[in-house]
Amino acid sequence: MGNNVLTGQSATLSDEEITALKASTNLSEEEIRDMFNEFNKGGGAGDGKITKEEFRKYYKKTAGSDDADGIFADNTFAAFDTNHDGSISFSEFTFAILAQNKTDLDSILSFSFASIDISGDGNISFDELKGYLEKAAILAIGKEEAAEIDSDEVALINFIALTADLPMPIQFYRTGFVNPATAAYCTWWTFFEYSLNLVSELLMAAISIQRHIFVFQPRLFDHRLKRYIIYYLPLLFCVVYPFIFYLIIIVFYPCDGTQWVFSSNLCGYANCYLVYNKVLTSFAWALNNGLPSVTIFLANAMLVIRVVQQKRRRQRLVSWKKQRQMTLQLLGISSLYMIAWIPCLIAGVGQRIVSPNFLAQIQFDYFLDLIYIVCLYLPWACYGFLPECHKWFYKVFRVEQVTRNVIRPTVRD
């Protein structure tokens, strides 16, 4: 700060400190004491400084409705902590408040730079800038909009299913038999379809859980390591695990290949592990089909409940229009997975508790075909429930109106 008096930190404000601050800031003694009282409200230890954790609590109380969740608490702390010692002294607090109120371009840019440079190394890294922009987006569009479905990963898997997998059952239903009628083809078909279905389910479940973190704990994504662990690794697992799992139990499972039924869709679902290994069948059914479906439903339902409860707890007016829109977006897309998988899950539970033949024929004739609802209707669900899809669709497919100028001769009297 250029003054030894101001660099010290004390729980009380001495006359010497007041004199130094008056000379440095042009504030009156009354204004300085008022700011000191406000400063003491933020520090809980009474040692003349505010730690980052104390500042976060203080920031949430004083930020107002613009940032009541304290999204920018760490960024603001970084701008206040000019000597980067992990705490804020009263002099730092005073100069930061004054810097915020200045209107000249240099002061605004300096304070903004300091708030983004959380590490305090004098440079803004890509991660710091990305984290700041993500927080700004949440603050600008609101938590309801931030909670909308991030369906890019699911849409990509759905596109692969539509273009590479769906033609195989379409070919079967057109001809009435599997062609080519070989064990190798049935093995490939079931491996590919089971894997894609599980990838889609797991991605939807993972995204549903991650949305809670993104909405309520966005600071966890500020650090690269945490972002890789919390965001990227689960998505990578959702893509890799299904192919490895089914590669082992379908492709590498020892079997003579005589069990396939070439007159039924997916070769009669007659994979060796399904026919000969009931324990593995139950494990795969519960872990790969039951758990993701239940997770999707509970995670999305709990997200809606948490957002509504948080608004009511803070005594904010609940915008029913926004709540209804968010609810439709969340439950509309996830309901496709419920419709596709819950009938099969009910039949599966009945077959393990009541009787092995419980709804077996109905499941084989109808319930298993419901799984195709996901890849068939997911594009329309995205279009119907996500406004961004409306804008993209209109931009791509709109017909430009061509204005034609016609020149006609004029007749003079």
Query: pLDDT value at position 58?
Result: 63
User: Are residues 347 and 362 in contact, defined by beta-carbon separation less than 8 angstroms?
Assistant: yes
Q: Provide the pLDDT for residue 303.
A: 81
Domain ranges of the chain: 4-124, 144-386
Residues of the chain with pLDDT under 70: 1-13, 21, 23-26, 38, 40-48, 55-84, 90-120, 126-153, 221-222, 310-330, 381-413
Residue 349: per-residue pLDDT: 82
Question: In the prediction, which pLDDT does 199 show?
Answer: 92
pLDDT tens per residue across span 268-277: 988 999 888 8
- Say which CATH topology domain 144-386 has: Rhopdopsin 7-helix transmembrane proteins (1.20.1070)
Task: Flag whether the pTM goes above 0.75.
Answer: no
Q: Residues, the chain, total?
A: 413
Buried b (16+ CB within 10 A) or exposed e, 176-208: eebeeeeeebbbebbbbbbbbbbbbbbbbbbbb
pLDDT for the residue numbered 66: 46
Q: What does the pLDDT read at residue 82?
A: 63
3-state secondary structure 323-375: HHHHHHHHHHHHHHHHHHHHHHHHHHHHHHHCCCCCCHHHHHHCHHHHHHHHH
> SS3 of 398, please?
coil
Signed CA dihedral, 222, 225, 226, 229: sign only:
positive
Residues 32, 22 contacting (CB under 8 angstroms): yes
Residue 403 is given by DSSP the state: P
Q: Give the pLDDT of residue 395.
A: 63
Give the Cα separation of 378 and 360 in Å (integer): 27
Q: What is the pLDDT of residue 334?
A: 78
Architecture of domain 4-124: Orthogonal Bundle (1.10)
Give residue 142's pLDDT. 45
- Secondary structure (DSSP) of 192-251: HHHHHHHHHHHHHHHHHHHHHHHHH-GGGGSSHHHHIIIIIHHHHHHHHHHHHHHIIIII
Strand, coil or helix: 68: coil
Tokens representing 366 are 């109808």
